[in-house]
């Protein structure tokens, strides 16, 4: 159901913006409403998204139900014109159209109800009760008022106007007090609201919705296309390698390819390969490294999505962290995050590959943060301006300190705001998390088999980049997309990608791939001296002063150590950081546990990467997909999800060790997952830094 803006002709500059209620009776009706509301944003936008008679009458009355809405409906056009419009709508929608009467005790509402009653008597158009509720629970009255005040929205005196959601008896009483409708007409209008119970029960499909660029081929044929692509590139990239190196990579390729093809995910990789290929043809620049867990898949490097060959990196990577058969079959989709220097080329490529309105930016919902929640509370509670302003400035300083804190630095609110204001701050926190705004997502794009205008809906939003042209975005956020099986691409604009690419261009050199970079920096004292001696200005991850001091203390000498360092300076590792920086050996004295988390490149029992946590959870009896879900739950600090995990972990781990060890390890897991990196992401971040270090050492 939606309350839309209506004008007679959406192509005219008409800001009448009459309200109209539209409700889907069927699943098809949902798509039809999505489409006309998308058009309201695309072709009908004039200060507001507007539908018109053309769009409204394109709806099938078998699929959509319509009411005339509140006093802000088509009545704005005057009695004669509104009568003409209402009769036109009634003729089209027939039993799927009703006149909405409301119980407000105001002169305007009484006048409107009398007008509707005349149409009811003359033309036999049914009446239906509307509530115009702006909140459901009485206690939400204050929240609504505070929210309006925060946005400087002030309505005229609402005396006699009800914004709540009353009981049936109370609604009946209000109509009687209003004195326009007879008791029989009131009952009829109220009973007609049961029409909504006759609508189709609409259940939104949560299955995976993976677009394909080869819809005419069978899944087996698409799998073969994927295999032909990666095998052809494998032959090209390994032409100069030894037989032993080829065998190792071929084993990895077969393992990954079997996971992809057996789960029906070939289309995803074929799609992104084609998008990146076309974007590069348009001078699009994608990072040589990557982001997240995708670079742990060797086949992604064959597809041009990264230049990381996990078999050539001395840091152990775990392909199952990216995708596994268990995770895919449990409902997840792969997720390749791409760092790019110029997003427009990739946007154009997505549209070319999938077709217009089959790819679009997603939305992000902004929520009230501490400072904005404080401002709202001050208005509501009549806090003196001087106090509100003073504490607001202190909160602003606190937020700034958090934003610019060094890795591992703890910022405490009480250091900024005096104790006498703590109760006021606590009271204002009830507003934190309220949705405050909607904007284009900074990097996420929806990729859809169906026309997004009909499947999801398109919304027009102002760009956050300062450009005048609007953004037309799919009206869905990342959490909802994941929940309902929609595919998204992350195209993150990253400064270091552009900086590295431009720097190599300036010295007349093509930016080397990762394997070449590792050869160039292996044993190269000048490059590693940049970290040891603190020449880190402009280098990814180590530019801030306190991190610079840490890297000078640690003195990384290779990519393994640099990747470990960028993971170790996360806040959750703070208690272990001194031991790590001093390069002291460390273990927990639990042989089975220590053996489990130590890797070929890290013989101390530091839990630096999420993959190590997943190993421990699986040791305690969790399945692979369960261990992945557990990391997300613990990392996001959802108490209702974490407590059951702990009980199960304690039981499983204690059975193999003892209760004391289980408690100790659980605390380690909690600490490690708060801001944990996966190993491939740590490698990517380190490599982006290393490109800069080599440039600085050899082309200062």
Same domain flag for 562 and 416: no
Q: pLDDT-derived band of residue 156, with 50, 70 and 90 as boundaries?
A: low
- Assigned domain for 388 exists: yes
Domain final residue, candidates 198, 222, 239: 198
Using alpha carbons, list the distances in angstroms from residue 696 to 404, 488, 537.
Answer: 25, 36, 9
- Assigned domain for 91 exists: yes
Using alpha carbons, list the distances in angstroms from residue 295 to 291, 310, 338, 342, 491.
Answer: 7, 7, 10, 20, 15
pLDDT at 583: 93
Domain final residue, candidates 388, 415, 432: 432
15 pLDDT higher than 70: yes
pLDDT at 5: 97
Give the three-state DSSP class for 558: coil
Same domain flag for 192 and 87: yes
Structural domain including 597 reads 512-698
pLDDT at 614: 84
The whole-angstrom distance between residue 473's C-alpha and the CA centroid of its chain comes to 13
- Assigned domain for 20 exists: yes
Average pLDDT over residues 504-529: 94
Q: pLDDT-derived band of residue 398, with 50, 70 and 90 as boundaries?
A: confident
- pLDDT tens digits, 373-385: 888 888 777 788 8
Domain final residue, candidates 432, 452, 467: 432
Same domain flag for 380 and 521: no
Most confident of 77-81, 163-167, 620-624: 77-81
Least confident range of 117-131, 139-153, 278-292, 567-581: 139-153
The CATH number of the domain where 113 resides is what?
A: 3.20.20.140
Tokens 């971040």 appear where? Answer: 685
267 pLDDT higher than 90: yes
570 pLDDT higher than 70: yes
Q: Quick check: 28 and 16 in contact, CB under 8 A?
A: no
pLDDT at 219: 96
Q: pLDDT-derived band of residue 635, with 50, 70 and 90 as boundaries?
A: low
Q: Quick check: 129 and 101 in contact, CB under 8 A?
A: yes
pLDDT at 644: 78
pLDDT at 476: 97
pLDDT at 475: 97
First to last CA, the chain: 61
292 vs 121: which has the higher pLDDT: 121
- Assigned domain for 238 exists: no
Average pLDDT, rounded, for the chain? 89
Q: Quick check: 9 and 52 in contact, CB under 8 A?
A: yes
Same domain flag for 75 and 177: yes
676 vs 456: which has the higher pLDDT: 456
- pLDDT tens digits, 48-62: 999 999 999 999 999
- Assigned domain for 215 exists: no
The whole-angstrom distance between residue 223's C-alpha and the CA centroid of its chain comes to 29
Least confident range of 237-241, 302-306, 469-473, 655-659: 655-659
pLDDT at 227: 97
pLDDT at 3: 96
Same domain flag for 99 and 6: yes
- pLDDT tens digits, 119-154: 999 999 999 999 988 777 776 776 776 666 666 666
675 pLDDT higher than 80: no
Same domain flag for 182 and 46: yes
pLDDT at 640: 63
Least confident range of 268-272, 543-547, 564-568, 624-628: 624-628
Same domain flag for 535 and 678: yes
Average pLDDT over residues 344-357: 96
- Predicted TM-score (pTM) of the model is 0.86
646 pLDDT higher than 90: no
72 pLDDT higher than 60: yes
Give the count of domains, the chain: 3
How far apart (Å, rounded) are the C-alpha atoms in residues 616 and 627?
Answer: 9
541 pLDDT higher than 70: yes
SS (H, E, C) 344-405: HHHHHHHHHHHCCCCEEEEEEEEECCHHHHHHHHHHHHCCCHHHHHHHHHHHHHHHHHHHCC
Q: pLDDT-derived band of residue 594, with 50, 70 and 90 as boundaries?
A: confident
- pLDDT tens digits, 163-222: 888 999 999 999 999 999 999 999 999 999 999 999 999 989 889 999 999 999 999 999
The dihedral through the CA atoms of 268, 269, 274, 279 has a sign that is: positive
How far apart (Å, rounded) are the C-alpha atoms in residues 117 and 182?
Answer: 10
- Assigned domain for 362 exists: no
- Assigned domain for 476 exists: no
Q: pLDDT-derived band of residue 672, with 50, 70 and 90 as boundaries?
A: low
Average pLDDT over residues 687-695: 95
- Assigned domain for 309 exists: no
Decide the pairing of beta strands 435-447 and 487-493.
antiparallel
349 pLDDT higher than 60: yes
Average pLDDT over residues 596-618: 83
pLDDT at 519: 94
Same domain flag for 66 and 173: yes
How far apart (Å, rounded) are the C-alpha atoms in residues 167 and 567?
Answer: 57
Same domain flag for 530 and 676: yes
What percent of the chain clears pLDDT 70, i.e. is strictly above it? 93
pLDDT at 533: 96
158 pLDDT higher than 70: no
Same domain flag for 560 and 671: yes
479 pLDDT higher than 70: yes
Average pLDDT over residues 594-603: 80
407 pLDDT higher than 60: no
Same domain flag for 410 and 553: no
Q: Quick check: 134 and 163 in contact, CB under 8 A?
A: yes
Same domain flag for 27 and 176: yes
Q: pLDDT-derived band of residue 422, with 50, 70 and 90 as boundaries?
A: confident
645 pLDDT higher than 90: no
Q: pLDDT-derived band of residue 17, with 50, 70 and 90 as boundaries?
A: very high
- pLDDT tens digits, 302-346: 999 998 999 998 888 888 888 888 778 777 788 888 889 889 999
The whole-angstrom distance between residue 441's C-alpha and the CA centroid of its chain comes to 7
405 vs 69: which has the higher pLDDT: 69
């Amino acid at each position: 159901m939606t309350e839309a803006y209506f004008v007679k002709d959406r192509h005219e500059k008409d800001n009448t913006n009459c309200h109209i209620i539209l409700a889907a009776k069927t699943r098809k009706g949902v798509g039809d409403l999505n489409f006309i509301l998308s058009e309201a944003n695309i072709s009908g936008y004039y200060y507001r998204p507007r539908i018109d008679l053309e769009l409204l009458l394109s709806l099938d009355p078998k699929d959509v139900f319509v009411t005339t809405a509140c006093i802000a409906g088509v009545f704005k056009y005057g009695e004669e014109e509104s009568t003409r419009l209402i009769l036109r709508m009634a003729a089209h929608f027939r039993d799927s159209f009703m006149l909405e009467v409301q119980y407000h005790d105001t002169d305007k509402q009484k006048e409107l109800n009398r007008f509707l009653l005349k149409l009811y008597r003359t033309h036999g158009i049914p009446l239906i009760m509307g509530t115009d509720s702006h909140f459901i629970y009485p206690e939400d009255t204050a929240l609504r008022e505070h929210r309006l005040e925060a946005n400087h929205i002030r309505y005229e005196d609402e005396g006699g106007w009800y914004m709540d959601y009353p009981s049936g008896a109370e609604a009946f009483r209000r109509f009687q007090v209003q004195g326009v409708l007879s008791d029989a007409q009131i009952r009829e209008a109220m009973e007609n609201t049961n029409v909504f119970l006759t609508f189709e029960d609409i259940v939104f499909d949560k299955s995976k919705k993976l677009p394909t660029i080869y819809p005419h081929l069978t899944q087996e044929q698409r799998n073969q296309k994927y295999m032909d692509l990666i095998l052809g590139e494998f032959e090209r990239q390994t032409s100069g390698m030894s037989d032993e190196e080829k065998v190792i990579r071929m084993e990895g390729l077969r393992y990954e390819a079997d996971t992809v093809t057996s789960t029906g995910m070939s289309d995803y990789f074929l799609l992104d390969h084609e998008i990146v290929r076309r974007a590069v043809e348009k001078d699009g620049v994608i990072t040589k490294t990557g982001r997240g867990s995708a670079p742990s898949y060797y086949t992604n490097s064959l597809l041009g999505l990264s230049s990381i060959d996990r078999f050539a990196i001395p840091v152990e990577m775990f392909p199952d962290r990216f995708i596994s058969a268990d995770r895919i079959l449990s409902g997840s989709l792969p997720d390749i995050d791409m760092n790019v220097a110029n997003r427009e080329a990739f946007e154009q490529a997505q549209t070319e590959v999938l077709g217009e309105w089959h790819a679009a930016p997603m939305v992000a919902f902004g929520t009230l943060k501490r400072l904005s929640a404080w401002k709202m509370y001050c208005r509501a509670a009549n806090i003196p301006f001087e106090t509100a302003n003073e504490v607001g400035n202190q909160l602003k300083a606190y937020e700034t300190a958090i934003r610019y804190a060094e890795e591992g630095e703890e910022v405490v609110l009480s250091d900024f705001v005096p104790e006498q204001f703590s109760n006021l701050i606590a009271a204002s926190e009830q507003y934190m998390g309220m949705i405050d705004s909607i904007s284009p997502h900074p990097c996420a794009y929806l990729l859809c088999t169906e026309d997004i205008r009909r499947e999801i809906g398109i919304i027009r939003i102002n760009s956050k980049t300062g450009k005048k042209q609007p953004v037309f975005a799919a009206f869905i956020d990342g959490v909802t997309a994941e929940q309902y099986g929609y595919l998204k691409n992350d195209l993150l604009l990253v400064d270091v990608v552009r900086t590295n690419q431009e720097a190599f261009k300036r010295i007349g050199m093509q930016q080397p791939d990762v394997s070449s970079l590792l050869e160039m920096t292996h044993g190269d004292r000048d490059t590693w001296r940049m970290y040891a001696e603190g020449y880190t200005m402009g280098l990814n991850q180590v530019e801030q002063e306190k991190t610079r001091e840490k890297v000078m203390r640690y003195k990384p000498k290779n990519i393994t150590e640099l990747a470990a360092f960028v993971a170790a300076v996360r806040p959750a590792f703070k208690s272990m950081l001194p031991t790590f920086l001093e390069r002291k050996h460390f273990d927990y004295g639990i042989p089975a546990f220590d053996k489990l988390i130590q890797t070929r490149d890290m013989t101390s029992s530091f839990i630096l990467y999420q993959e190590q946590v997943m190993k421990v959870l699986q040791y305690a009896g969790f399945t692979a997909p369960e261990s992945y879900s557990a990391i997300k739950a613990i990392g996001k600090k959802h108490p209702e999800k974490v407590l059951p995990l702990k009980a199960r972990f304690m039981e499983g781990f204690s059975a193999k060790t003892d209760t004391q060890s289980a408690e100790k390890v659980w605390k380690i897991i909690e600490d490690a997952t708060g801001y944990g990196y996966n190993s491939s992401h740590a490698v990517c971040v380190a490599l982006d830094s290393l490109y800069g270090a080599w440039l600085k050492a050899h082309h200062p």
